[in-house]
Amino acid sequence: MNPYPHPLIAREGWFYLGLASAVALAIQFLAGFVWAWPFWIIALFVLQFFRDPARPVPAGEQWILSPADGRIVAVLPSIDPYLQRPAIKVSVFMNVFNVHSNRSPVTGSVRQVVYHPGQFLNADLDKASDANERNALVLETPAGQQLTCVQVAGLIARRILCYAKVDDALQAGQRYGFIRFGSRVDLYLPPQVRLRASIGDTVKATTSILAEWPQS
């Protein structure tokens, strides 16, 4: 994958921002600002939703970074449904005011890409991990460690975008996808990792460290 240049506004939002701005401009031209201001509010909402800032990557190969902005809503023992092994699931819930660009939690190669159609339940609910539309990446680091990163659609989100393919090489913090309008990302980590995040924590993609690999 080519590095993403991180424009101020994510490319996935250019159409929506242009449409919202055009509608607001047309109504202001035809009827005046009194009628147009609600549509300018909508355009501002679209602008903030699709912002996509570049983020500094913490130095060190031992870190497992947050793949998304949001709030930690789950940290619990689980079974990785893609690697079929015990895991710790860490879930990050994104509301409509968070940045929705998704970043790779580690440097590594994409071993699997698995898409599941599904429902659109509230992404804050734990059952959304199994019931909702989702797209999973299994990543393997240069040291042979594996984890699974799953984009999960939410109540409003109706489109998961994933640009990574099998055998792609991702850098830690590299942008690989986007979910529109509210969603979550689940990480399935080996039980041996040292967690550095707790339920209720507010995290940011790339800059927040969720866990670290065990020292060899």
Which residues are catalytically annotated? 183
Residue 5: exposure state from Cβ atoms within 10 A (0-12, 13-18, ≥19): exposed
E strands along 95-133, which residues? 101-103, 108-116
Long-range CB pairs of 158-166, under 8 A, 24+ apart, other chains included: 158/120, 160/115, 160/133, 160/134, 160/135, 161/12, 162/113, 162/115, 162/135, 162/137, 163/1, 164/1, 164/104, 164/110, 164/113, 164/137, 165/110, 165/113, 166/110, 166/111, 166/112, 166/113
Query: Do 192 and 145 form a contact (C-beta atoms < 8 A)?
Result: no
Q: Find residue 211's DSSP bridge partners.
A: 64, 195
- The single-letter code of the amino acid at 212 is E
For tokens 């201001």, name the residue: 37
Whole-number Å distance between alpha carbons of 155 and 164: 24
